[in-house]
Structure 1
């Protein structure tokens, strides 16, 4: 519901909001221009002193106005001809023309009413209301995406358009909400929909009847500083019954022209005082820096409009739309989907269409928000959930596990959870497992036990669909082949070969970083930004199933680098090891947020063996701030597969690497990396006492040995790997 409430005002009012925002950005420049062009104010000058100086320069002056920007304008009549000028407050003399800017006038009319007077004002108010709804719902969606308001500024993930939309929204949301609220307030004030308690004093019954006192000698005017002045109207020439009329930020009153005494005064009411602040906050007039900041943040609207449309189109392409789909309240089978990249939606649609063809009433929807009471006639609910990172929920489904555990189960419907993931990751289908555990704890009836689909396997999904059909009492055999990930051609520029002497051919492969246009970035084409430790998916020829390699570089390095060892019968590794400079492969980047450095001053313990050195080398290469990084590295022989050996020694000299310990299994000492860790147990404990974080990368057997060794080393300190992992001090990338 929240997502729909956010989507439709944005799509329907997009053109109006773009017009309002662009004209508002242009108008935000004028307060700063006026403030810069206004003659400098005289420190602590009074309204009486200013009036005396202007009167001396223009004996027929009728009115002085001070704009919020500080610019002072005087108006007079010279015979029958009206005159006006911007005034230098130090001299009272003309300092510039008072003619209004035609451009500003046109922009103001366009911004307030689209050049359509009252009708246009109502249209602008409707657009402001849409902006308010978008701001409030957008803020709530960002909070949900981030896992709560406390994680508002936590790193964002997901497709490029979604990240841009979220990043810009969380920076500009407060300003856009404020702009919408103040715009609606000003519309309400214009049409008399708000109380009007601005000062409007009654003209005094009696005046002194004398004239000729200079304004700078009038006590009432001397008590009012120019910075508070809004308007000073002079008495009609020769009329002893008239008086000065003065308006300030606080109220309005009349001053006797013969004695200078305050004859009448009325303060502004609370509504008028609030209106002053509303005007300043909406226009920036009187606060030039705020006006420029307001204009800068309002530029978020075009960005949000473009990225929002891209997101909407992408969701239309992969989202929950089925021909013949039943409403949520009428469906007997409900399919709920949690997906990061959209692949899981394809399987969900294939299942839903097959059930509809069997005569079933099916409803397909995102897993979040999880609200079982919406499905009044459901007989079965199927959750199809992908896993992100180290067993995490996709960004769109954060908080669902907690919600499932807290809500009562559906009174009738039985539940089946199907996980999608990659078995090469340690937390394979971890999110689906958490959902299953929460459902069991909440007391849901099981339709099928938890099952898992590895790397979008069409065969695995068909097998599961047959089991679902048996549970539903129907023949069901759903075949769906997911489309291969969108990939980019990478051209090999350099390779360094190792390991031939120890029968383990290995190469460090460096590819050129393809250029991406702004449109490519918005549409999510190309590699996108990446960091060492993220994954490069390679699509080998003759296969639609990608193989993943840890990246040894970040996009800031200007190249793409991986380390590949040839495996017997390995389709992808064989093709990669056959590549020559100038040849290309198809690839894409997959984020790996659970295996990234966090910066800071605490030491970082890096442990790797063989090709596991790849991301660790990338961390060290990017260590511009010289965080203390200590490497323990294992290989077969220093002369054959000491990967990055020359680089590591250079980084030691530069301070990017604080210490390095090596272990080689094909030398006389025959030592593995876990053996070297055990020998250096004292140093490891010292580093852990300083708050060090441990990162391990390599094969599964090596990682298991390292875990066992570290468990023994850290036990005397009362530290466990489970507790360290929970606290963000242990990360592992094994394969």
Structure 2
């Protein structure tokens, strides 16, 4: 429900919101320009002194007005000819036109009413209400996604448009909420829908009926500084019964023109003070810096509209379209999906169709939307989730473990994990979900089961087991849909390892030219960095294999390091690839394996083809910070991937330290052995704030973790400690 409340106002009112935001942002500049351009009165200048100077320049003055920015404007009659001008408070002389610029007038009318008067004001009020709804619902969705206020600024994953949308919204939300509320208040006030208590002094029944008292001698004017002035209206020149009307920040009153006596004074009530604060907060009038901040943040609205729309389109493309599903309250079977790349949604669709065919009503939603209280007719809940990185929640399951601790158990549930057994954290998040459910009192339909590499056979077996428990005939015939991929042409290769029967290669592919819009939004190869993943779809399979990128978009090519594995379908095809031939590939972001932007040292540790992304980091960051590499391989003559590049980078200063270990060159020496030999150097680097990044095989990764923990033991630090601080990142397989 919250997601729909966020989506449809945004999509339907996007154009209006962009107009509202852009025009408001332009208008926010004018108070600052006015503040800079307008001469301002000194703190000790009185209204009496200002009025004396203005009368000297314009004897027929009718009104003096001071704006919140300090601009002084005067209106007068010279004979029967009206005049108006901005004046210098120090001299009372004219310095410019009283009228706002044509540009400011145009944008003001556009922002307030779309040039449609009251109809336009109502339309813009609807746009402000849409912004309020979007801000509130977006805040709730973000809280659900990140797992509460404590994680409000936590790092986000997923497609670039979605990440950018969330990152901007988290900063802009408070200001946009304030802007929407104040806009609605001002519209309601325009239509007299709010109570008012403006200062209303009682017009005097008796006055002296005399004229000519000097404004310079009026005590009230002498006691009022110009900085408090709002408006001073002069009595009509031909009416002795008329009076001065003085409006200040503290109220409004009448002054007799015959003797300068204060006849009556009224102080505004709380509603007027609220209105003044609302006006200030919405326009920035009187606080130029706030106006500029407001205008800058409001400019985020067009960006949010674009990124939100792109996120919605990406989500529609990434999920299968399910027909016949019902609302959460009407479903007998509730399927909740935790997915990072989108493949788990396909399995969920297959299960949903099979349950529908068996007579069940089905509801399918993201795992992060888990809300048992809404499942009023549910008989079972089925959780299907992948795992991200080292056991973390995938993008559509953020916050669920924290939320489960506060959920009351209802109907039985089953958990099905998806992953790749070659990774150390295989289905770790699914295991965590089942453990949290059991600890909170949920009953299980089935013990946790796991699907390795999107195996249709594993899924069909699990489906038969689920059908037996539910007493339903479930035959799950699922064929994973091939990912959208682009043809990549190999342009060069460097071969290693043939002499030791362990073929490996550095493969460089051409990067296709893309339009600016494609590069901005980042589809396929629009934007990528070293450490992201290149998915390769081998011939004869729909299941991609992933390789860490050794290049970024700015390098102008796509590069990976590959070793041939016994019986490996994808690695065998890649090792056999010749320049000019093509493979199908796509990019998957890997934001958890990226160097930070600090200037502190960077420690890179890798073995074998794990050198790929580390070489990319050196290539991109070597001139910005000290980088130290520990690299392990089999033999220096045949297996030293990027050997020439590393030596060249070291000579050029891009690589501050190069340490190698070779396991088949005399004494067996592994990278973790090299680390222990350089223990003191590592301790010094880590004590100086260094970040450690490790890439390579699973066993190597475990050995490095143990070595780092042993090395740092004298300082009471472990690899786990560094990881919790964001200073230890792994990409192991």
The 3 A distance-change label for structure 1 pair 188 and 580 is same
- Contact 2:144–2:368 (CA<8 Å) still a contact in 1? no
The 3 A distance-change label for structure 1 pair 683 and 444 is same
CA distance in 1, matches of 2:675, 2:14: 60
The 3 A distance-change label for structure 1 pair 146 and 374 is closer
| Aligned equivalent of 2:388 | 388
1:223 and 2:223 correspond:
yes
CA deviation string 1:591-627 (max 9, x = no partner): 3344333354665443221211122223333435754
1:349 Cα deviation after fit: 1.4
TM-score by length of 2: 0.91
CA deviation string 1:419-474 (max 9, x = no partner): 12233322122211111111121222221211122232333222222222222223
The 3 A distance-change label for structure 1 pair 538 and 158 is same
| Aligned equivalent of 2:22 | 22
For the residue of structure 1 that corresponds to 2:328, the secondary structure is: coil
The 3 A distance-change label for structure 1 pair 475 and 496 is same
CA deviation string 1:452-510 (max 9, x = no partner): 22232333222222222222223321222232222234444543333344333333233
CA distance in 2, matches of 1:185, 1:704: 60
The 3 A distance-change label for structure 1 pair 318 and 648 is closer
For the residue of structure 1 that corresponds to 2:285, the secondary structure is: coil
CA distance in 1, matches of 2:41, 2:623: 47
Task: Select 2:437's aligned residue among 432, 436, 439.
Answer: 439
Q: Which runs of 5+ in 2 are unaligned?
A: none
| Aligned equivalent of 2:329 | 329
CA distance in 2, matches of 1:688, 1:163: 30
| Aligned equivalent of 1:488 | 486
The 3 A distance-change label for structure 1 pair 33 and 321 is same
For the residue of structure 2 that corresponds to 1:445, the secondary structure is: coil
| Aligned equivalent of 1:262 | 262
CA distance in 2, matches of 1:491, 1:255: 87
Residues 697-706 or 131-140, more deviating: 697-706
The 3 A distance-change label for structure 1 pair 320 and 7 is farther
CA distance in 1, matches of 2:19, 2:599: 48
1:703 Cα deviation after fit: 3.1
Task: Select 1:640's aligned residue among 634, 638, 641.
Answer: 638
Residues 200-209 or 180-189, more deviating: 200-209
1:177 Cα deviation after fit: 0.7
Aligned ranges 1:33-72 → 2 under 5 Å: 33-39=33-39, 41=41, 44-72=44-72
For the residue of structure 1 that corresponds to 2:329, the secondary structure is: coil
TM-score by length of 1: 0.91
- Contact 1:333–1:381 (CA<8 Å) still a contact in 2? yes
1:146 Cα deviation after fit: 2.6
| Aligned equivalent of 1:460 | 458
The 3 A distance-change label for structure 1 pair 559 and 146 is farther
1:514 Cα deviation after fit: 4.2
Residues 638-647 or 264-273, more deviating: 638-647
1:383 Cα deviation after fit: 0.7
1:348 Cα deviation after fit: 1.0
| Aligned equivalent of 2:418 | 420
1:355 Cα deviation after fit: 1.3
| Aligned equivalent of 1:610 | 608
CA distance in 2, matches of 1:588, 1:319: 18
| Aligned equivalent of 1:478 | 476
CA distance in 2, matches of 1:711, 1:231: 73
CA distance in 2, matches of 1:317, 1:702: 38
- Contact 1:516–1:526 (CA<8 Å) still a contact in 2? no
Residues 545-554 or 7-16, more deviating: 7-16
CA distance in 2, matches of 1:514, 1:285: 50
CA distance in 1, matches of 2:64, 2:480: 73
CA distance in 2, matches of 1:717, 1:82: 82
- Contact 2:519–2:527 (CA<8 Å) still a contact in 1? no
Residues 569-578 or 167-176, more deviating: 569-578
1:630 Cα deviation after fit: 3.1
| Aligned equivalent of 1:294 | 294
| Aligned equivalent of 1:587 | 585
CA distance in 2, matches of 1:16, 1:203: 45
1:384 Cα deviation after fit: 0.9
The 3 A distance-change label for structure 1 pair 251 and 716 is closer
CA distance in 2, matches of 1:104, 1:718: 63
- Contact 1:39–1:95 (CA<8 Å) still a contact in 2? no
CA distance in 2, matches of 1:118, 1:510: 63
| Aligned equivalent of 1:547 | 545
| Aligned equivalent of 1:167 | 167
CA distance in 1, matches of 2:692, 2:26: 51
Task: Select 2:678's aligned residue among 672, 677, 680.
Answer: 680
The 3 A distance-change label for structure 1 pair 568 and 320 is closer
CA distance in 2, matches of 1:58, 1:76: 7
The 3 A distance-change label for structure 1 pair 680 and 531 is same
1:418 Cα deviation after fit: 0.9
1:525 Cα deviation after fit: 1.6
- Contact 2:622–2:655 (CA<8 Å) still a contact in 1? no
The 3 A distance-change label for structure 1 pair 586 and 107 is same
For these two proteins, the number of residue pairs brought into alignment is 733
1:360 Cα deviation after fit: 1.6
Residues 358-367 or 626-635, more deviating: 626-635
| Aligned equivalent of 1:662 | 660
| Aligned equivalent of 1:700 | 698
CA deviation string 1:682-729 (max 9, x = no partner): 444555555655433222343344445455555566555445544545
CA distance in 1, matches of 2:209, 2:95: 35
CA distance in 2, matches of 1:160, 1:711: 35
- Contact 1:402–1:438 (CA<8 Å) still a contact in 2? no
1:187 Cα deviation after fit: 1.7
CA distance in 2, matches of 1:104, 1:711: 64
CA deviation string 1:117-166 (max 9, x = no partner): 33443333232222112111212222332333233333322112212321
| Aligned equivalent of 2:500 | 502
1:356 Cα deviation after fit: 0.9
Residues 714-723 or 277-286, more deviating: 714-723
| Aligned equivalent of 1:285 | 285
- Contact 1:54–1:92 (CA<8 Å) still a contact in 2? yes
| Aligned equivalent of 1:176 | 176
For the residue of structure 1 that corresponds to 2:322, the secondary structure is: coil
- Contact 2:354–2:476 (CA<8 Å) still a contact in 1? yes
| Aligned equivalent of 1:311 | 311
Aligned ranges 1:513-524 → 2 under 5 Å: 513-517=511-515, 519-520=517-518, 524=522
The 3 A distance-change label for structure 1 pair 692 and 78 is closer
1:252 and 2:255 correspond:
no
1:304 Cα deviation after fit: 2.1
| Aligned equivalent of 1:139 | 139
